[in-house]
Amino acid sequence: MRRLTLLLLAVGAAFLVWMLHQVGWGVLAEHLLRVGWAWWPLILIPYGLVNWLEAVSWRYLLLDPRTRPSLTRLFWLRLAGEALNQLTPTASLGGEAFKAARLTQAGVSFPDATASVVIHKGILVLSLVLYIVMGLAMAPWLLPEAASHLGLLTLGAGALGAAGIAFLIIQVRNPCGVSMRLLDKLGVCPAALKAREGSLNGLDARLATFYREHPGRCVLAFTLFFLSWVLHGVEVYVMFQALGHPISWPLALCLDALAMLFTALGFFIPAAVGVQEGGNILLAMGFRLGAALGAAFSVLRRLREAFWLSLGLMVVAREK
């Protein structure tokens, strides 16, 4: 599986280089050189606020105030976890184990730490689906002739929503216990896993009861996560301003929501390399912004990602 992921990464990287070459390196450089140094704080800040909101959302899923880490600690752990999710061939899951392990080391019980990470991942997917649906609903108003071309995007959003709902259903149906019983029947249950049966049963119990006993916390965490997606739209608005081609706030929001769908569908490739850029360029062309501007926006967003991912990797190195 890891070899397949690395192969897809190589294909995505080659596709990315080809796309940028087709746009033209000179044209791309011309767009990017319009971004002065004064714009960079404004370009970088929105994602910092995104990560802060998501850390606040995560904090509401940790119930015990005696062991709950500070918001600052959760901010850095989330940043580190997302760096691992994006840069390792683990289908956006490698960082979740890191976050749960660090919480456990800090004194949070294994069931609470792991349940908070699993529930937050489900909230991420469901809030993203709502954000994408909002973008799909806005698209015909912003570009009426695009309505007939939204079928595949709607299908992709539906698949993502179905995956999110399935993930939620699995959470409340004793996934650890069911998996261990299946492995036992097959005779391949590792001894190390069997030794943790009590902790895994506690995780099942926490997942099964959390949504029923703490619906308010779930709704608040979901709302904060949705607001963090909206902040991505602010980032898009600022980036197009910096590129010297201002767009309206509704268009920035719609463009980002649909771009997130492409990124989500490319989750199996580290950082969705090639998929994210292809989606951005196609959407920019669809909204009559042009391929060159779409490519410049993609590169600008990658530079922002590089900054925050570097900070996340520094946290990972320090934690080790």
182-193: per-residue pLDDT in tens?
Answer: 877 777 777 777
Is residue 241 in a domain?
yes
In the numeric block, which tokens belong to residue 182?
């299946």
Q: What is the 3-state secondary structure (H, E, C) of 50-103?
A: HHHHHHHHHHCCCCCCCCCCCHHHHHHHHHHHHHHHHHCCCCCCHHHHHHHHHH
Q: What angle do CA 148, 152, 153 make, to 5 degrees?
A: 95
Residue 90 has pLDDT above 80, yes or no: no
Phi and psi angles of residue 192, each rounded to the nearest 5 degrees, phi first: -65, -40
> Would 18 be classed as within a structural domain?
no
Q: Which residue in 5, 38, 59, 79 sits closest to 220, CA to CA?
A: 59
pLDDT at 3 over 90: no
- Chain length of the chain: 320
Q: Above 80 in pLDDT, residue 174?
A: yes
Q: What average pLDDT does the segment 61-85 reach?
A: 94
The whole-chain average pLDDT of the chain stands at 88
Residue 7 confidence (pLDDT): 78
Contact 273, 257 (CB under 8 A): no
Give one word for 187, left, alpha or beta, with left for phi > 0 and alpha for psi -120 to 50.
left
In a domain, 312, yes or no: yes
Q: How confident is the model at residue 140 (pLDDT cuts 50, 70, 90)?
A: confident
Whether residue 238 is contained in a domain is answered as: yes
208, part of any domain? no
- Tell me, what's the pLDDT at 168? 87
Q: What is the DSSP letter of 67?
A: T
The rounded distance, in Å, linking the Cα atoms of 226 and 221 is: 9
Tens digits of per-residue pLDDT, 241-273? 999 999 999 999 999 999 999 888 887 788 788
Is pLDDT larger for residue 16 or for residue 62? 62
Residue 279 maps to a domain: yes
Which residue, 254, 230, 257, 252, is CA-closest to 241?
A: 252
Task: Determine the structural domain holding residue 285 and report its residue range.
Answer: 46-156+217-319
- Say whether pLDDT at 109 is over 80: yes
Would you call 79 exposed, middle or buried from its count of C-beta atoms within 10 A (0-12, 13-18, 19+)?
buried
Specify the pTM. Answer: 0.90
Whether 276 shows a pLDDT value over 80: the answer reads yes
Instruction: Give domain status of residue 170, yes or no.
Output: no
- Over the Cα atoms of the chain, what is R_g? 21
Q: Count how many domains the chain has.
A: 1
Max avg pLDDT among 1-10, 31-40, 227-236:
227-236
The answer to whether residue 139 scores a pLDDT higher than 70 is yes
By percentage, how much of the chain surpasses pLDDT 90? 49
Q: Is the pLDDT of residue 285 over 90?
A: no
200 is a domain residue: no
Q: What is the pLDDT of residue 201?
A: 82
Q: pLDDT band for 146, please (50, 70, 90 cuts).
A: low
Give yes or no for residue 313 having a pLDDT over 90: yes
Give residue 91's pLDDT: 64
pLDDT grade for 145, boundaries at 50, 70 and 90: low
